[in-house]
Structure 1
């Protein structure tokens, strides 16, 4: 049942949303978690620093991770708005004053780093390795800042433009992470991808490094609620440029560009936001001082190590991985499997035994059985890197020369004191704005509100996952009957790149473009506005289905960059005038429709947009919250929705809008960018082909069919909403024999098609 037309623009008793969106911070709201999520998070916050980092990096889909993020932020920035008094905030009321303080700290850190790396390439490589988790994750705070709750904010779009720059304009090879990785590799620091299980081990990450990284990842999980903090940390971190100083490379974001965005945020900000932003700047200065001091401490520790301590450090790193590989080898009468399998290795005792063993005897130049085992063909070939092997050779030579210094093992403790303070703060963190509540939205409107503001309603995530999965399952009915769709064809076919392109091409021309004929009669204004109102709810979340794809740790597929580029286009590539959410609000204003922002509670009570549309919009918001679980389905959905941006329906809407003097910018934009020759529709097909080709190359041909089925049910899930008239006839036992067309007297309004 559809909602009857209504006269737009009546006073609803709420403040309408007006462009530009000059919000400086979202209104403070509590964070609602279920009891189960609370219990899971409690254990996670007590984890070792490396495990905390891995959790926040890898899991972007569970409510417990969001609670962990909230606690980490609270531990680093407890009651941030109360930490910087008004007087202090006023001292740094403008961006230039903040910049002066940051530049003074940069000069201080530059001097420390210069001294740290002065002793040679090994010292430089150690510093780069010690910074790698922070250097390669820098910018993650902006990953999901652009979302339905924050668009089209002026500040968010300015920051999104920076995000796009850091991502190489959609080309990851030009992005910050790839450039820094190449700089690391040029210094001999070779590391796996940041999400790899052994990344932190290979980076030899200190606990303090993992905790600092966890703070930045925590901000990336709740950026809408902590916009001032994200803005302050973003400016200070990149303006300090510790990683640029270490790698001796030019920054992708210049300090003047960073300062310009900071100044714009400050100009919009009230006193409370200024305090929060400034507290975030000061925290970042403290953190970077703390981390550079740790690098200096680590460098001094290495420089002061005796040869025996250097060998002990190498053995300590490799011993946990030795397992039972040494068989019957014995040192000092003890089996190596027992020595390395002990809960705590007596390194001093082991070294004393090893240097008296036959494994180190030789002619005096370091050659010995131990070194032979490390060479090509030996049982330990490839275990130790070149620098480690050279350390063993030097030690063997000293032993063969008769040197027997007292073995004193110097433990590696750089940054541990600061790390323990940070860790204790996380363990005792109990933010006052966290509440335990089970999710029971009373209707579609409240569910929509929670999904838009999902950071504040993590307890709704299980509901979202179940709804999305149910829709995908139900949509598979179109694998059988989809050919009868009026705008889509979700009928099943066996995948090949050629078959996909042929299907998409046929749908584009036969169902979307060729049927077009100009309208001979234009409906009256009220009818046109009502039909438009059936689209607006989905227009207001344009691009949402893609906004969580390709985040840090989830962006290693070649196709992720293509998806990010499509989303960036939807957001105007950071240009607020071209942002599709901005275009939607322009159209609404020209039609005289006044609505609150979809993030506001007042939107729940709006009565301009029909209830029938909420199911369609809710499905988009549900699936997008699970970019890993529903990755394949999102690829198929993306193809369907991008193809629907062109053709008969959009051309008819253009004709009607122009006739009645209503802004047609949104419709025009999609006709421009969604075409199937080189636009988003073609790119969406290319993404699927590229993704499945990667599956074939990495997993095998047999896996492609399973992955393809999930992709295609994502396409079918869009058709499932769009082709409701056909589905109603199928349900009544009267499936169409050919492409669906309206029965006599049946309207083709989307209010009837999408429910």
Structure 2
């Protein structure tokens, strides 16, 4: 802690939970590399392939479950099992509350056509309970914490960093894993390896004793990352093995080394953590251990108020000052003071008159701390001689910090030189601060243009949000699209050259289908009441792990029928291809930019999402089908969109429901502003140009 650059592990954890966390190109890279190197080799210093470690990990986990079950059984005989249940659940909370979150940024617009990416996204979809709100593995764990009433700091998961009942050790593995998740460019193989290790382990061993004692509190299978979320689904651990094998086949020896490194590091971190949790739970069987913890944690603030009250001839303030490092002398003195009736908390002043409504310590202790004090008093022997020399079991949690590289070594980088370079950079999750600022300004300017003349535009949402929600308005728009389609049946269809040119110019947009929703792959957004609609939409755009339904791949197939074989989307050659016009990157860059700010621009994204999903349903997709048929090309791309975007049960309906849900949560005084922001997002799909719109964009830039 003497190093001024050291970050407490809770800080690293909370920072990595932020879906808009500032880019981490270098500041933590050296620290993460050092952590990975701690656990990447066996006792002989050689690497061990995950395929060989898998059975060993499963065997180790089984042994650990027996170990913890024995601890719980001993505590049960002593009447202390409830204490161990509570402490085990808290110890597992940082990891179990975010089970699978390290996969959250593995998919990005630039790799959405790759088989390995889709298999990883499928694993992640299972972890977040795709298709259902609040159905992630972490959400189920939150239910367990709420059942035990230990969830005061549990939601969002970043708030766990404030819970003083959770030791540093419990934050270490998830903090490092989540930090790596924000740098998939650097740690792709390591993330695959650590994910495989955690799925080989299955249910975290300390939770085995909890499950035995609370078998019906929750659906326990959801907390086991090796188990499928649906009865007919394949075990995720098998999928994780297949992902690792496919990645190694693709990336070669370097990929194998990365996977092995991540796997071995996670296994080493799990072993150390389980040993520390077991020591903590064993110590907690003695009520004095929790009392010593409580005194140590509260001594600093308590010492301020107790300069005049004496215990055993010394000011309580002195006792408490010393208790910050060693609470035992104070507890011994307290046990022999007039405040305590050993063996009888009901008759003790400390837990009676002092904390009553008229007492001087009213509401000083919350219920859980008062319970700790009562258990300690009730366990004290009546004979003072038996209390002499007492010390609780020794278990001192270690302070864990990471020492990142100096901020001065952080490469801010240059902003994109032009819109094509912006497209290349924004295809990836990891960007420099300069590119992030460029993206933020790009979004702000587009939205400023969209707000100009919004009241008089026929392409806007209603001036006020309908009281009964957007579903009726949605059906009206669908009818309008249908009328426009039938009214235009006699209009000439584009000729072959026009069709091919328009299809080519749409490629930078269509090959990143769903990019505006990329931010909703963040673990804690993907399963919220409205976020699950947006994640499900994103996953649908990419085919739900079925490459034959992957929209970018379907579009590439149509382009090949037209004689166009484009470079890979993520390659520099794609964005610099001479067949594209510069303006064809305007809306794609907007999508890529706004998708990075799912919290900052949530209402605008909701509006944009509705505009995008509704844009072709019932009209343009049907006309597009006629045009493709006329020239002998596949209609698969427009057909699949006209079905999955439908206004009854498809993406358009989901988009409307997400907006209605968002507005229902707003305070009456804020709902009008929120609706205006949604309307601006809706119009931003086809943002106006011209003098007034340009002036608005320039004002946003200043």
TM-score range, shorter chain: 0.7 to 0.9
> Is the CA contact (8 Å cut-off) linking 2:17 and 2:158 kept in structure 1?
no
2-side partners of 1:83 and 1:108: how far apart? 22
Aligned equivalent of 1:46: 6
Report the CA distance shift for 1:397/1:265 in structure 2 as closer, same or farther (over 3 A): closer
Which residues of structure 1 form unaligned runs of 5+? 1-42, 734-755
Map of 1:607 onto structure 2: 578
Mapping of 1:98-497 within 5 angstroms? 98-120=53-75, 121=81, 122-185=83-146, 189-195=150-156, 198-202=159-163, 204-243=165-204, 246-247=207-208, 248=211, 249-250=220-221, 251=224, 252-253=227-228, 254=235, 255-303=237-285, 305=286, 308-319=288-299, 344=324, 347-361=327-341, 367-373=347-353, 377=357, 380=362, 383-385=365-367, 389=371, 391-395=373-377, 398=380, 401-403=383-385, 404-406=387-389, 408=391, 412-414=395-397, 416=398, 420=400, 423=401, 426-427=402-403, 436-483=411-458, 488-490=459-461, 493-497=463-467
1:252-309, Cα deviation, whole Å (9 max, x unpaired):
3433343333333344341221111122111121111111111122233334x5x544
> Partner of 2:35 in structure 1?
76
Distance 1:167 1:203 in 2: 27
- Rate the CA distance shift 1:656–1:78 in 2: closer, same or farther, 3 A: farther
Report the secondary structure of 1:523's partner residue.
coil
Paired residues of 2:119 and 2:239 also in contact (CA < 8 A): no
Structure 2 CA distance for partners of 1:115 and 1:275, relative to 1, 3 Å? same
Task: Give the Cα–Cα distance (whole angstroms) in 2 for the partners of residues 195 and 321 of structure 1.
Answer: 27
Is the alpha carbon distance of 1:435 and 1:351 closer, same or farther for their aligned partners in structure 2, counting shifts above 3 Å? closer
Structure-2 change in CA distance of 1:283 and 1:393 (3 Å): closer
* Distance (whole Å) between structure 2 residues aligned to residue 634 and residue 189 of structure 1: 34
Looking at structure 2, the residues matched to 527 and 622 of structure 1 have their Cα atoms a distance apart, in angstroms, of 29
TM-score (normalizing by structure 2):
0.84
How far, CA to CA, are the matches of 1:681 and 1:706 in structure 2? 23
* Secondary structure of the structure 1 residue equivalent to 2:17: helix
Distance in 2 (alpha carbons) for counterparts of 1:340 and 1:503: 65
Deviation at 1:361, TM superposition (A): 4.6
- The residue aligned with 1:527 is 498
Q: Cα gap change, 1:62/1:205 in structure 2, threshold over 3 Å: closer, same or farther?
A: same
SS at match of 1:311: helix
1:546-625 to structure 2, matched below 5 A, reads: 546-549=517-520, 551-554=522-525, 557-625=528-596
Aligned to 1:11: none
Aligned-pair CA distance for 1:325: 8.1
- CA shift, 1:373, in A, is 4.5
8 Å Cα contact 2:351/2:370 also seen in 1: no
Question: How far apart in 2 are the matches of 1:732 and 1:677?
Answer: 37
Measure the CA separation in 2 of the matches of 1:625 and 1:156. 19
Report if aligned partners of 1:637, 1:714 keep a CA contact under 8 Å in 2: yes
Q: Tell me the CA shift for residue 665 of structure 1.
A: 1.6
Change (3 A) 1:560 1:349: same
Which whole-Å CA distance do the structure 1 matches of 2:130 and 2:168 have between them? 33
Deviations 1:381-422 (A, max 9, x none): 5934468526535526737554542354767423x2xx65xx
Structure 1 residue 360: Cα displacement:
1.9
Q: Point out the more displaced range, 622-631 or 357-366.
A: 357-366
Offset of residue 622 of structure 1: 1.0
Asked whether the 8 Å contact 2:411–2:432 carries over to 1, the reply is no
* Alpha-carbon contact 1:133-1:194 (below 8 Å) kept: no
Q: Distance in 2 between matches of 1:732 and 1:55?
A: 37
Instruction: Say if 2:105 and 2:429, in contact at 8 Å, map to a contact too.
Output: no
Is residue 130–residue 203 contact of structure 1 (8 Å, CA) maintained in 2?
Answer: no
> What TM-score does the superposition give when structure 1 sets the normalisation length?
0.78
Q: Deviations over 1:550-596 (max 9, x none)?
A: 62344674212222222222222222221222222222222221222
Give the 3 Å change call, closer, same or farther, for CA 165–364 of structure 1 in structure 2. Answer: closer
Compared CA separation, residues 48 and 428, structure 1 to 2 (3 A): closer
Q: 1:730: how far off?
A: 7.2
Q: Name the stretch that deviates more: 577-586 or 680-689.
A: 577-586
Residue 184 (structure 1) shift: 4.4
Contact kept, 8 Å, 2:90 with 2:165, in 1: the verdict is yes
1:55 aligned residue: 15
Q: Which residue of 2 aligns with 1:28?
A: none
CA distance in 1, matches of 2:680, 2:431: 30
**Contact 1:637/1:717 (8 A) holds in 2:** yes
Q: 2:604 aligns with which of 630, 633, 654?
A: 633
Q: Deviations over 1:616-653 (max 9, x none)?
A: 11111111111111111111111111111313322221
- Residues 348-400 of structure 1: CA deviation (Å, up to 9, x unaligned): 45434433443225896751221215877465459344685265355267375
- What is the match of residue 699 of structure 2? none
| Distance in structure 2 (CA, Å) of the matches to 1:196 and 1:233 | 20
Q: Cα 1:44–1:209, aligned 2, differ >3 Å: closer, same or farther?
A: farther
For the 8 Å contact 1:364–1:400, the answer to whether it is kept is: no
How many residue pairs get aligned? The number is 661
Q: Tell me, in whole angstroms, the C-alpha distance in 2 between the residues paired with 1:308 and 1:99.
A: 40
Query: Do structure 1's residue 683 and structure 2's residue 647 form an aligned pair?
Result: no
